[in-house]
A and B are shown apart, each in its own frame.
Chain A
Amino acid sequence: MRSPLASRALLMLLVALIVLVYGFPYAFLVSTSLKSPQAALAIPPTLLPQQLSIENYANIGEHPSVQRSFGNSIIIALLSTVITIALAVPAAYAVARYATWAGKTFLFVVLITRLIPPVAVGIPLFVIMRALGLIDTHLGVALAHSTISVPLGIWLLASFMEGIPRELEEAARVDGCSRFGALLRIIIPVASGGIAVTAIFVFLASWNEFLFSLLLSSTGVKTAPIAIAEFKTQYGIQWGTMTSLAVLFSLPVIIFSLLMQKRIIAGLTVGAVKG
């Protein structure tokens, strides 16, 4: 038998090694983006830039269509977030508070949508969007993204709302508040933390989405993932610029995720206690 101290040190070492292996790829991406475009392709590759350079980032300036695609992604993700929250908040409240037959069926149907491969609804969605005149528009892509995030939003919000004590609404109802009034004035403010977390999830789901954007946008509202993916075919593989684009594209996701770590716990408790 090894001593507990030795085995603990061994354990720590093992975990540190795993963490190193998992952390390495992204660190290497950031490191490569800070090399000069030539050094990014050096044989053999170096782990760290021998000379820091922002040339790869500066080169993005030569590609206005790629820059525009980031703007498109932001607009579409915001639109999709607004649509989803507007639709999912009332539905989640109904599902969480009133255990009716309709609510249960609804939740089940929502779960089933997870099984649908996006490629299956892609073409029919294309037909519908064309009939509505929404091909290659921000709204069209945002609506398509919402088909993924409305079910996601309902599930997340329903779990947040279940955590809100029933007494809060009952008290409001006794004081003469209508059902809608209780939802608007009591539930939504108390659930605002949960709604914020859901909004971030939805925003990121749209930001990362690939297939619907590929099908429903052409030159007009091309999103960043598509522009980045096509970047290689159009100009040959410029790996240096590619790595800087990848870093820029992942920044909002990383920032939001870091923000969210605290919000998830705080969001649930703060509202109810403060009131």
Chain B
Amino acid sequence: MPVIRLTERRFVLLLLAPAGCFLAVFVAYPLLLLLRNSFYEVSLYALNDGVFVGWDNFVKALGSSRVRESAARTLNYTVIALSAEFVLGFGAALLFNALGKRSELLRTIFAFPLMIPPIVAGLLWRFMLIDNIGIVNHILETLGIIGDASDISWLGDRDLVLFSVALPNIWLTTSFVALVLYTGLQNVPAELIEAAKIDGAGNWQRFRRVTVPLLRPVIAVVLILRGIDAARAFDMIWIQTEGGPRFASEILSIHIYRAMIRYGNVGEASAIATLFMLGMVLASALAFAVIWGRGTSQS
């Protein structure tokens, strides 16, 4: 039997091969199929054949007001969820940081929502937000903020629903943002803060000129990761409203799902999904360049 010498290069390739093959078959190949399908008219019931239609699906997708509306909703939803998570999370991180070691127990309790499965969060908020028997409206009524428990229809009001479906997302992930930023804050060298204090910088100035610039890489990672996850959201919204009432909470991933499964329009759905992914890549690259790039060029 000839002995094949296991060089370093061969060894590395051998180690990467199983995972590489798996990702090629179950991630890369599906993506190629998706791209192919976006140029074909394909029915859900005859997925293997289809008629080549060129750019038709893209033209239809871009021309459809429902696609444009759900794209705008995806953006709105992401901005609502991300800004609330970031402001609340950063606030909590600063409070924990001010308390120092004493905050350990509080941090542990605060980390709790991290352990809740998304569908449970969606169901739970759906239950709490029901207008007449829901606890949220009951609390608001008790506090005298609303006159009657059925005054706010959180999941039934088309103008409000996008905010309401973001609530479980915000609840679930503020802890993540807070804990990551807290770790970042703990790593800011105390000497730098002291030096700024000696130079006469006030609280706000120290925060703006010392803490935030040093935290920039952490902030970039948190914002990009959370932004991607919020934009791809499906289950939490699906479980609360399935995109309703009358499409008012239908973000892109729900629209794509519906176009494929309910309407069997695989070609157009694939075109929308392709555009969606392209948008995500561009947005992440842009966010990365803006947040990260500015930090390094300033220093």
Q: Which residues does A use to contact B, with CB under 8 Å?
A: 11-12, 14-16, 18-19, 22-23, 25-26, 28-29, 32, 41-45, 47, 83, 86-88, 90-91, 93-95, 98, 100, 102-103, 106, 109-110, 112-128, 130, 143-144, 146-147, 150-151, 154, 178-180, 183, 207-208, 210-211, 215, 225, 228-229, 239, 242-243, 246, 249-250, 253-254, 257-258, 261
How far is it, in angstroms, between the C-alpha of A122 and the C-alpha of B261 when the chains are bound? 11
In the bound assembly, the distance between CA atoms of A124 and B29 in angstroms comes to 8
CB pair A225–B12 under 8 Å, yes or no, is: no
Q: Are A22 and B27 in contact (CB under 8 A)?
A: no
- The CA-CA distance from A114 to B261 in the complex, in Å, is 24
Specify which chain A residues have a CB less than 8 angstroms from the CB of B256 in the assembled complex. Answer: 117, 119-120
Complex Cα–Cα for A207 and B115 (A):
12
Alpha-carbon separation in the docked complex, A229 to B33 (Å) = 29
If A14-B95, A211-B234 touch, does A22 touch B273 (CB 8 Å cutoff)? no
- Could you tell me the distance between the alpha carbons of A25 and B235 in the complex, rounded to whole angstroms? 19
Question: Can you pick out 21 interface pairs between chain A and chain B where the beta carbons lie within 8 Å of each other?
Answer: A15-B103, A18-B110, A19-B106, A19-B109, A25-B124, A103-B16, A116-B27, A117-B273, A118-B234, A120-B256, A120-B273, A128-B30, A146-B26, A150-B19, A179-B11, A208-B117, A229-B123, A249-B117, A250-B120, A254-B116, A258-B115
| Apart from A23-B109, A115-B280, A211-B235: 14 A-B pairs, beta carbons within 8 A | A15-B92, A15-B99, A22-B174, A25-B128, A28-B124, A44-B133, A87-B19, A93-B15, A110-B23, A117-B231, A123-B37, A128-B30, A253-B115, A253-B116
| Interface pair A22/B113, CB less than 8 Å apart | yes
Tell which of A41, A103, A228 touches B133, judged by Cβ atoms closer than 8 Å: A41
Which residues on A sit within 8 Å (CB–CB) of B149?
A: 43-44
Expressed in whole angstroms, the minimum distance between the Cβ of A163 and any Cβ of chain B is 17
- Determine which of B20, B123, B135, B253 lies in contact with A117 in the assembled complex, contact meaning CB atoms within 8 Å: B253
Say which size band chain B's interface belongs to.
35 or more
Contacts of B75 in A (CB 8 A): none
Contact B26 A119 (CB under 8 A): no
**A117 B95 Cβ-Cβ under 8 A:** no
Asked, given contacts A44-B149, A114-B228, A179-B6, whether A106 binds B20 with beta carbons under 8 Å apart, the answer is yes
Q: Cα distance A264–B253 when bound, in Å?
A: 34
Answer whether residue B112 sits at the interface, using C-beta atoms and an 8 A cutoff: yes
Q: Are B16 and A91 in contact (CB under 8 A)?
A: yes
Instruction: Check: B84 CB closer than 8 A to any chain A CB.
Output: no
Is chain B's interface secondary structure helix, strand, loop, or mixed overall? helix
Chain B 239-272 near chain A by CB (<8 Å), digits 1 or 0: 1000000000000110011001100001001100
> Once the chains bind, are A242 and B116 in contact (CB under 8 Å)?
no
A249's partner among B11, B120, B127 (CB-CB below 8 A) is B120
Contacts of B25 in A (CB 8 A): 128
Are A124 and B119 closer than 8 Å at their CB atoms?
no
Are B273's CB and A225's CB within 8 A?
A: no
In the complex, which residue of chain B has the Cβ closest to the Cβ of A114?
B228
B19 in complex: contacting residue of A112, A121, A154, CB < 8 Å: A154
Query: Is B2 engaged at the interface, CB distance under 8 Å to the other chain?
Result: no
Enumerate chain B residues within 8 angstroms of A100, measured Cβ to Cβ: 9, 12
Contacts A109-B23, A124-B37; A45 near B133 (Cβ below 8 A): yes
* Distance between Cα atoms of A32 and B150 in the complex (Å): 20
Could you tell me if B238 and A210 are in contact, using CB atoms closer than 8 angstroms?
Answer: yes
Q: How many Å lie between the Cα of A70 and that of B12 in the bound state?
A: 39
Q: Shortest Cβ distance from A128 into chain B, in angstroms?
A: 6
Partner of A25, one of B171, B228, B253: B171
